[in-house]
């Protein structure tokens, strides 16, 4: 895989391409031009060709893209073939929603274990995943290679847990705690899910509309 000078904006568009290609496959479309793909995504054809050219040559002049092949290339680019292993820390409502509805395995990730302190869930299986007591977590990490931790614990616990697990080999944290983690190591990837940001994007526009209507 060629990965040269790739901006975050390009990387952030890749999952959108993936979703669109899955959608096309679902609708039985097996080939698409960069022009049509651009139209459906609100991007210019040259933007699309430029994005893909960061990683190699995927289209064919005059033919366009083979949907399945391009989907496959993008899945590889995005690490979906790497079978990264995942643990879930915190099996509250949100943790449960992720285990039951998100479909880690469908996207190429292995959700190997979950951890919580709540007696009613420790020792049970949630969505096919065993829930261990959190006190077993560091021992588990020292015996198993885990790439990604999903952090969905109460926010007061977040920083402490995050700093512990990165000392035990966790290289990426998918952070649902809504606080900015303060990790002492700078080689750890963190991706924050801030639900509020997207709700405020809606309410910004509603507020702007309301002002227009007043004027």
186 binds a copy of itself (CB under 8 A): no
Phi, then psi, of 8 in degrees rounded to 5: -60, -35
Beta-carbon contacts of residue 2 (< 8 Å; ≥ 6 apart): 54, 55, 56
Residue 87 CB, nearest distance to a copy of itself (Å)?
13
Choices 11-19, 110-118, 128-136, 157-165; region in contact with a copy of itself by CB under 8 A: 11-19
44 binds a copy of itself (CB under 8 A): no
Q: What is the CA radius of gyration of the chain?
A: 21
183 binds a copy of itself (CB under 8 A): no
- Cα–Cα distance measured from residue 12 to residue 208, given in angstroms and rounded to the nearest whole number: 27
Choices 31-39, 61-69, 112-120, 187-195; region in contact with a copy of itself by CB under 8 A: 187-195
For a copy of itself, how many residues bind (rule: CB under 8 A)?
55
181 binds a copy of itself (CB under 8 A): no
**What is the DSSP secondary structure assignment for residue 12, as one 8-state letter?**
H
- Cα–Cα distance measured from residue 120 to residue 87, given in angstroms and rounded to the nearest whole number: 19
The only residue of 32, 147, 161, 162 in contact with a copy of itself, by rule CB under 8 A: 147
Residue 121 CB, nearest distance to a copy of itself (Å)?
13
CB atoms under 10 Å from CB of 91, counted, come to 26
Exposed e or buried b per residue across 48-74, where buried means at least 16 C-beta atoms within 10 angstroms of its C-beta = bbebbebbeebbeeeebbbbeebbebb
Residue 186 CB, nearest distance to a copy of itself (Å)?
13
203 binds a copy of itself (CB under 8 A): yes
Of residues 110 through 129, those in contact with a copy of itself by CB under 8 A are none
- Cα–Cα distance measured from residue 150 to residue 87, given in angstroms and rounded to the nearest whole number: 6
Residues in contact with a copy of itself by the rule CB under 8 A: 1, 3, 11-12, 14-16, 18-19, 23, 77-80, 82, 84, 92-94, 96-98, 100-102, 107-109, 147-148, 171-172, 174, 180, 189, 191, 193-211
């Amino acid at each position: 895989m060629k990965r040269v000078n790739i901006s975050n904006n390009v990387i952030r568009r890749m999952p959108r391409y993936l979703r669109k290609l899955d959608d096309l496959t679902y609708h039985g479309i097996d080939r698409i031009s960069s022009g049509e793909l651009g139209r459906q995504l609100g991007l210019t054809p040259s933007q699309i060709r430029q994005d893909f050219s960061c990683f190699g040559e995927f289209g064919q002049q005059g033919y366009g893209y083979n949907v399945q092949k391009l989907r496959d290339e993008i899945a590889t680019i995005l690490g979906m073939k790497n079978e990264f292993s995942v643990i879930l820390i915190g099996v509250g409502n949100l943790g449960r929603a992720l285990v039951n509805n998100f479909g880690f395995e469908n996207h190429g990730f292995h959700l190997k274990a979950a951890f919580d302190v709540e007696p009613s869930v420790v020792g049970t299986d949630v969505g096919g995943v065993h829930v261990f007591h959190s006190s077993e977590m560091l021992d588990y990490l020292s015996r198993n290679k885990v790439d990604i931790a999903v952090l969905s614990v109460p926010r007061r616990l977040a920083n402490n847990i995050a700093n512990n697990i990165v000392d035990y080999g966790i290289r990426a944290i998918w952070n649902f705690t809504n606080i900015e983690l303060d990790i002492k190591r700078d080689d750890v990837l963190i991706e924050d899910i801030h639900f509020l940001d997207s709700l405020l994007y809606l309410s910004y526009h509603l507020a702007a509309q309301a002002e227009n209507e007043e004027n």
